[in-house]
Amino acid sequence: MQTHEIIKRFREHFERAGHAVVPSASLILDDPNLLFVNAGMVPFKPYFLGEAPPPWPRATSVQKCVRTPDIDEVGKTTRHNTFFQMAGNFSFGDYFKEDAIRLAWELITNPQDQGGYGFDPERIWVTVYLDDDEAIELWQKVAGLPLERIQRRGMADNFWSMGVPGPCGPCSEIYYDRGPEYGAEGGPIADESRYLEIWNLVFMQNERGAGSGKEDFPILGDLPAKSIDTGMGVERVALLLQDVDNVYETDLVRPVIQKAEELSGRKYGANEVDDVRFRVIADHARSGVLIVGDGVTPGNEARGYVLRRLLRRIIRSARLLGVTEPVLVRFAEVVRDAMGPTYPELVSGFDRIAQVLKAEEDTFLRTLESGSRIFDTAAAQVKAEGRATLPGDKAFQLHDTYGFPIDLTLEMAAEAGLSVDEDGFRKLMAEQRARAKADAAGKKTGHGDQTVYRELLELGATEFTGYTELASEATLRGIVREGKRVRSAKEGDIVEVVLDRTPLYAESGGQESDAGTIVSGNAELEVVDVQKVARKLWVHQVRVLSGEIAEGEHVEARVDPEWRVGARQGHSGTHVVHAALRQVLGPSALQSGSYNKPGYLRLDFAWTGGLSEETRSEIEEVSNLAVRKDLPVRVVYTDMGGAQEMGAVALFGETYDETVRVVEIGGPWSRELCGGTHVEHSSQIGPITMIGESSVGSGVRRLEAYVGIEAFKYLAQERALVQNVAAMLKVPDVEVPARVEALVERLRAAEKELERVRAAQLVASAGSLADQALDVRGVAVVALALPEGTSGGDVRTIATEVRGRLGERPGVVALFAPDGGKVSFVVATTSAARDLGLAAGKLVPAFAPAVGGRGGGKPDMAQGGGTNPGGIAEAVAAVRAEVERALEQR
């Protein structure tokens, strides 16, 4: 049975059982605890935590997931994978244990011609929590499982929680016996390779307190409503139903390996070393394509860094298999074809995905080139110092700073006849991971104590009225100070207030929250910020300007009308610029982030390379033409399926409700899912003036613009600037560019002439410096300090010229240039000096400590720097002494 059929049967089975079919969420969700969605229940966490009311009593989904803690282990075994699909069914206070067990058992064991998977019931085992006698009885009652195939396990294995205070409960895991050829008898507690876990049923019935680990936390009591959360591993079911040994041989993964075989000319299964590389490619290709598909671009932090590691491991593994041509897009095409039926966005967005992958591969190939040069320098220094081991800190620098894989460093070191201090490298890696882990822990906000908001949410969601009015009568439902609910607030207090209805927009979708006021009979509150809690509750942060306010009072919430005018211009302007961008660059130029406020917009989009001045001007022109056309703005409410049929653009990482809001500007020209406030006609946006275009990361560009009155102000400032420059140059405005260009050319010519004169002076000074050579046992030694501020490049030039002036004599030149609190130095030797064993690189360690520095190089020339200019005289003496010592030992 093919994987797509496995997924189809899962969805249909639970849809027939009354479950809402929920599409997979993006891998990127706004969760401070997660880089990527790593379990099927993650998108449903707000419902299980009570932060939001569930829109359905029961639901089912097949969620794409990525787990990355064990990236380095992927490929070494057939068990580790970064990407997988988790099929699940969920009950939010609806059915419980018996129905969960029954629904799972029916799907697993029903014959394939009746829509099931057709597993042999006699080969199914289950585990339950230690004291969950109810689950044991239900497995016997519903499935007829004998007691000998039901095993009890402790909290570490069969008790589930999110790792934070909140819902938890015992679970029951379903295993399939693969047969004696896969391991020992005795059920899951004896051998989990033979008895393969395929499904975990979580019975969410308790509330846990604070604690660490899987077992160290108290159970506080029972939940008011019991729920179900299950997860079935799609890939594991596939390997069983396709009768293959492991996930890498299933229908959606094996094609990537086949492509790698085709490109490399090698065969999977021939040897374990190559097999590891094939598996790395197959696993990481799926993860990388799905992650890029959800809007992540390679970078040096967080998700971008993980993605970069995945992609670079693919490239490196392919190279170790002998493939020298670009590979990322080739593998991505295979993933697209295999996964597209389930995730059509991989097909529709493939141009953008391919663009990001190509840019990253080009970048990494340049990294390999530059890293190789750095490695060569380090290896030469190690050999020059008479050592045979590359230090761990150097290997770590290559890995951490230049993205050079450690296995590549090991291979190149072996080719150079060196070993690598792997222990030192891994120690530094462990320290880095510990710092990263501590940093991540420090940044986590977790779920915090949401109790006060849950109480207010139980009173009902806030009704947002801001689409149709700027002032709304409301009831003050709650006042919160420092996380605690209070009855009242007085003048000078800064608190949070929750209303039953409000016209004030809460920050979301890139749009800043509204400014405004809340007034009652004797109080006025300035609204400082508005945020959503659980996507249903509008929380207003306010400063009490006068009077006193109390819970239960009737108030009026008012939006600052001028603020709203500018806010609508900014948000609608963002949509217009996005549409213009796609019109000019093509549909792959998709927005990956935005921010807008009155008069200003910022839009990030996936693209490689900067935009030309002509392209920026064209985007600005298309945007303003749309404004001039006075395009109608229309709002349509539909479901996600209807929005997709309309061709509406969904933003990466956003979570949408069952009913979505589509904002159209000019019909299909701009059609996006959006909850923001907008103008009624495009002409109300006013002029759009581009003020910047820049890079904000690998494969991501940023456009910035002013709109409305802010655009007028900006253009007025630009006009005044041109007029001032014209007045200074005493020319008409239109002649300013030509006159400035002429001045710049004159300045460049003058700088070139100065550079020519300076170079001539440097060459001339070389003769006088060579005349100052001291004879040390027949070797001419020029060891001197140059004038303050001489650049490092000039030091090298002078040293080369002085060495040339020494002619055929044995000679050593060591020049030092102080510059503020630093020192640059260069050592150069003549051929005759090198014949005497005087190598430039070997002389550096003798004097470098005196100037607090380090350096190295080849026998003919070495260079470096230090931090102690006061030690130059000592360094000069050390050079002369080292030359004499070296000659004495000959």
Residues contributing to the annotated binding site for Zn(2+):
571, 575, 674, 678
Cα 507 to chain center, whole Å?
A: 22
Burial code (b: 16+ CB inside 10 Å, e: under 16) for 70-98 equals: ebeebbeeeebbbbbbbbbbbbbbbbbbe
Rounded CA separation 799/802 (Å): 5
State the residue for tokens 């029972």.
222
Rounded CA separation 652/294 (Å): 6
* Tokens read off for 821: 């609190």
Phi and psi at residue 150, to the nearest 5° = -120, 120
State the residue for tokens 């190149």.
412
State the residue for tokens 């059609």.
671
Sheet order of strands, 688-697 included: 591-597, 600-606, 700-707, 688-697
* CA separation, residue 560 to residues 506, 521, 563, 683 (Å): 14, 19, 5, 21
* Cα–Cα–Cα angle for 206, 210, 212, rounded to 5 degrees: 105
> Of 261, 260, 264, whose CA–CA distance to 284 is shortest?
260
Helices (H) and strands (E) in the chain, counts: 25, 35
| Type of residue numbered 494 | I
- Ramachandran quadrant class, 731 (left: phi over 0; alpha: psi -120 to 50; beta: rest): beta
Helix-strand-coil percent breakdown of the chain, rounded to 5? 45, 25, 30
Would you give the DSSP letter of residue 292? H
Rounded CA separation 165/217 (Å): 9
Torsion of CA 140, 145, 147, 152, to 10 degrees: -90
Cβ–Cβ < 8 Å for 853, 824: no
Rounded CA separation 515/57 (Å): 37
Phi and psi at residue 330, to the nearest 5° = -65, -45
Rounded CA separation 354/360 (Å): 10
The 3-state secondary structure of 546-595, one letter per residue: ECEEECCCEEEEEECHHHHHHHHHHHHHHHHHHHHHHHHHCCCCCEEEEE
Q: Strand 779-785 vs strand 774-776: parallel, antiparallel, or unpaired? A: antiparallel
Q: At what angle do helices 422-443 and 406-415 cross, to 10 degrees?
A: 170
- Kindly tell me the sign of the dihedral angle through the C-alpha atoms of 576, 578, 579, 585: positive
> Of 21, 41, 12, whose CA–CA distance to 110 is shortest?
12
Ordered alpha helix ranges (H), 41-86: 45-48
Residue numbers in the known binding site are: 571, 575, 674, 678
Cβ–Cβ < 8 Å for 597, 570: yes
Rounded CA separation 514/559 (Å): 7
* Tokens read off for 400: 């951490």
Rounded CA separation 501/633 (Å): 25
What residues contact residue 101 under an 8 Å CB cut-off, 6+ apart?
A: 135, 138, 139, 142, 143, 172, 201
